[in-house]
Amino acid sequence: MTADYEAITLLEEDNVAWITFNRPDRLNALNDQLLEELGHALDFLATSDSRVIVIRGSGRAFSAGYDVGSDSNEIGYAHERSPVEDRDRQLANIDLFLKVWRHPLPVITSVHGFCMAGATQLCVFSDITIVAEDAVIAASPAVPIGGGFISPLWATIVGPKRAKLMSFDAGHRISGVTAVEWGWATEAVPADALDEHVRALALSIARTPTAILKLKKEAINRVSELQGLVTIGRMGAETDALLHLTPEVQLLQNLIKERGLKGAIAHFNSGEMKF
């Protein structure tokens, strides 16, 4: 089965549903359209005949995270949102990713190339994350335009010290191999073997009836929920909304509008920027 989307594609075959981010020219950055289509696809698949979902990216990356280009809703119209509206916007993102967490089907994220910032939230809420060994993974954007929204979720998996490293050092990156060593990802395989490996894994899981998979998933999820995973994910929205009000973050947002994201990153890294 295929469905008509623009920012994603959806294909069902052999009891496996493949959701592919389809914005390769923007490294599959998560904009409003992509997130809305992802939510629609997840709702549809909840009553489909598929037994496993795989989420992957087209082109050179899994996803560069939330679209923070100068013309994006995340940055371009940030000044039009009140603090509560900003918080609610972040909560909506978490609630979407919770559809992955609470989905009746197992969800595998297949990560190649870049997996940055908000895209790592999605992976935290997925059931299994398979990464290319040379994948580039970062919990925070390359310029500190927020915080407390993504890294606390990392802390539930990799511990507070490593989460702080990924949060405090803007744009700090690790490889797929390191992500597995830290426990953030499940397995790392050579990049040229990723698709085949994920396909074989998905088909193997799909041998088990949906009802059994659903109860197995719920049983394990309860452990993380008792440890506060869902609460941690939602409370980060408040910290992010607060930080967006600071003069420093507003200065960086204006810089992105003026110079574009690449220009803002270059200026921030030059050491010439004073706060």
- What CA–CA distance (Å, rounded) separates 23 from 241? 27
Q: Which CATH superfamily is domain 2-269 in?
A: 2-enoyl-CoA Hydratase; Chain A, domain 1 (3.90.226.10)
- What CA–CA distance (Å, rounded) separates 275 from 270? 13
Return the pLDDT at 77: 56
Return the pLDDT at 46: 97
Return the pLDDT at 173: 97
- What CA–CA distance (Å, rounded) separates 272 from 120? 30
Return the pLDDT at 64: 95
Return the pLDDT at 265: 83
Return the pLDDT at 198: 98
- What CA–CA distance (Å, rounded) separates 54 from 221? 18
Matching residue, tokens 């490593």: 162
Return the pLDDT at 242: 86
Return the pLDDT at 3: 61
What CA–CA distances, in Å, run from 34 to 18, 38, 66, 115? 15, 6, 10, 16
| Contact assessment for residue 8 and residue 34, using Cβ atoms and an 8 Å cutoff | yes
Q: What is the pLDDT along the chain (275 residues), one digit of tens a residue?
A: 456 899 999 999 999 999 999 999 999 999 999 999 999 999 999 999 999 999 999 999 999 999 986 455 565 556 678 889 888 989 999 999 999 999 999 999 999 999 999 999 999 999 999 999 999 999 988 888 877 889 999 999 999 999 999 999 999 999 999 999 999 999 999 999 999 999 999 999 999 999 999 999 999 999 999 999 999 999 888 888 888 888 888 888 888 888 888 888 888 888 777 77
**H helix or E strand, kind and range, residue 5:** none
pTM, whole model, 2 decimals?
A: 0.92
Return the pLDDT at 71: 59
241: number of Cβ within 10 Å: 23
Return the pLDDT at 268: 83
